[in-house]
Chains A and B, each alone.
Chain A
Amino acid sequence: MAAESIPLLEICDLGVQFPTKKGALLRRGFFYAVRKASLIVMSGETMCLIGESGSGKTSLARAILGFYPFQEGKMFFQGKQIKHCGDSEHRRLRSKAQMVFQDPIASLDPFFTIAESIEEPLIASRIIKEKRSDRVKELAERMGLSPTLLKRYPSQLSGGENQRACLARALATRPEFLIMDEPLSALDAPMRGEIGKLLFELREEYSLTYFMITHDLPSVKESASTVAVMYLGRIVELAPVSTFFSSACHPYSAALLSSVLRPGFWPGKRIILEGDPPSPMESPQGCAFHVRCHRKTAICERIEPQTKVVGTGHTVACHLV
């Protein structure tokens, strides 16, 4: 896997815009949900995307899969360019990528049994009926779902069992690339540990590449290989996991690290960010973070920082670096 030099997915200066709700169709304004996002996902690695809610993490993940069109920038999948959303290359990406959503109960059809939900992607990829039921049983067994649960409906299952079903459904078509939007945040603590372990095993077994949105920094430290930090639509820091946890440069990354309450995780004084993140519709002048930054200088209020390379695979967008 590592021998391949061509990255699985490369994103250059990606921009995703949404219309503001005000005004008629022709007078409608746009705002950027994702701006100048650049990152490289090598095959076999686990990329973790962190940031507050409203920072555009989900928009970026969905733009990669084409749920939302992207307006600016380029994407390369296995070295071939995706020119615009939904072209043939993008469809090829989508056949090899799957998504797991945040809320497992909401993302399963309430009128389908678990078996039907897992079977559905197999129907779409035109696999004959006899093979399908075997595959469903095999997948369910691998995910640790007992066969009696397959005939039940999502509302009759616990959150953890539903998340296992979602994973089984996502892996039914044997994808190479799995995009996960906070797969563990809707589960309680013991279940989180179990599913996290399952994800780790599956990555080795199916040689998957993970692109994971998460809030849980301790688990990032254990499982990720690269960390990307997003703030208000921009990737403000991108670093290999060991570099990130030892020497994160951006003040926002430091604030995120200090907000982990696990005893012993952050030895120093906690950095408390005042206020809420601003709305991307009224993005502040200069550096988007300067309003809440505890290290801001005069230049931060006027000029937006460019992304700088500070080490191998380590880029930061901050004036202070």
Chain B
Amino acid sequence: MSKETTYISQNEILRVEKLTVDFPGKQVATRVLSDVDISIRKGEILGLVGASGSGKSVLARCFLRLESPAKIISGSIFMAGENLMMKSQREMQKIRGKNISLVPQNSLGAFDPLFTVGNQFQEVIAAHKDLFFNEGAGRKRRKKNFREKIYDFLGAVGISAPQSRSLLYPHQWSAGMRQRALIAMALCLSPNVLILDEVVSALDPTICLHLLDLILRIRERYGTSILFISHDMDVIHEICDRVAVMHSGRIVEEARVREIFNQPLHPYARSLVSGVL
């Protein structure tokens, strides 16, 4: 895992401007994010750190305009020259998965417990089947191809014997494998931006290392831009190119990893870094 590779270029792939988000309440709304500006550049891994409750996951969901229970009050999200705020939820469904993918935090909660992992994977492909198959292919033929595609993707993230494993239910998988399967599901549509929400925080260190290695290899192979959300500064130091520090709903500092670890400017960033070194 060399840190010297420079993937940073100036062209941005996703930019958020002045995003303000509230949790609507009965009497008063709670402000979760206020005036957040953040941009993800092409092919970089951007780390997003902050304490729990600082609004990291809400921001991640807002990138995909998954707004419940939060509500976007103002601001704009630009992707490839388009403002995603102008789109309807129906149009967003096409963009989710295809252009931006989110890997949620709780891997067991993210799967439906009543369906096998293979079936749920198939659902992803079926929802975007125009990306995979020509219109001409017969239905039966397609179903068989589904399976093969799934095995390929699961194999690519290092899951051995995907044929038998995909017939198991999510609770029968180990946590590390579930997390890898979720990443495979997010990757199968080859999105430009991948949002990873606390993917390694619940794992053993050895499994965590394996997963971080996988994430770096994904970036190398597909050139995906990754937003990596974590509260663990050690992990951020290991794989990210740039870091944005979030504190009570605001981005308080944004810098390259080396700069933030050597000379953090904001007091909160300083306290985070001093906890590590």
Contacts from A to B (Cβ < 8 Å): 52-54, 188-190, 193, 215, 217, 255-256, 258-264, 270, 272-276
Contact of B231 with A259 in the complex, beta carbons under 8 Å: no
- Cross-chain contact of B275 among A190, A215, A260, A273 (Cβ < 8 A): A190
- Report how far A125 CA is from B107 CA in the complex, Å: 43
A47 to chain B, nearest CB (A): 20
Closest 5 CB pairs of A and B: A261-B234, A259-B205, A259-B209, A52-B204, A261-B238
* Nearest neighbor of A258 in chain B, beta-carbon distance: B209
Give the contacts of B233-269 with A (CB-CB under 8 A). 233-235, 237-238, 261
Q: Which A residues are CB-close (under 8 A) to B275?
A: 189-190, 193
Q: Which A residues are CB-close (under 8 A) to B234?
A: 260-263
Known: A261-B238, A263-B237. A274 touches B231 (CB 8 A): no
Q: Which B residues are CB-close (under 8 A) to A53?
A: 175, 204
Residue B27 is within 8 A (CB to CB) of chain A in the complex: no
Task: Please list 18 pairs of residues, one from A and one from B, whose beta carbons are closer than 8 Å in the complex, sorted by A's number.
Answer: A52-B206, A52-B207, A53-B175, A188-B52, A189-B275, A190-B275, A256-B205, A259-B206, A259-B209, A261-B232, A261-B237, A263-B234, A263-B261, A264-B277, A270-B1, A272-B213, A273-B209, A276-B176
Residue B68 is within 8 A (CB to CB) of chain A in the complex: no
Contacts from B to A (Cβ < 8 Å): 1, 51-52, 158, 160, 174-177, 204-210, 212-213, 231-235, 237-238, 261, 275-277
Q: Count the A-B residue pairs with Cβ separation under 8 angstroms: how many?
A: 61
Contact of B206 with A274 in the complex, beta carbons under 8 Å: no
- Report how far A54 CA is from B213 CA in the complex, Å: 22
B213 to chain A, nearest CB (A): 5
Known: A188-B51, A193-B275, A262-B276. A276 touches B213 (CB 8 A): no
B40 to chain A, nearest CB (A): 23
Q: Which A residues are CB-close (under 8 A) to B177?
A: 276
Contact of A261 with B235 in the complex, beta carbons under 8 Å: yes
Q: Which A residues are CB-close (under 8 A) to B160?
A: 275
Contact of A215 with B158 in the complex, beta carbons under 8 Å: no
- Cross-chain contact of B210 among A54, A188, A193, A272 (Cβ < 8 A): A272
- Cross-chain contact of A270 among B52, B209, B261 (Cβ < 8 A): B209
- Report how far A152 CA is from B205 CA in the complex, Å: 35
Q: Which B residues are CB-close (under 8 A) to A255?
A: 206
Contact of B205 with A274 in the complex, beta carbons under 8 Å: no
6 more CB-based (< 8 A) A-B contacts, given A188-B52, A189-B233: A190-B275, A262-B234, A263-B276, A272-B213, A273-B210, A276-B207
B243 to chain A, nearest CB (A): 14
- Report how far A258 CA is from B237 CA in the complex, Å: 15
Contact of B237 with A275 in the complex, beta carbons under 8 Å: no
Q: Which B residues are CB-close (under 8 A) to A261?
A: 205, 208-209, 212, 232, 234-235, 237-238
* Nearest neighbor of B180 in chain A, beta-carbon distance: A276
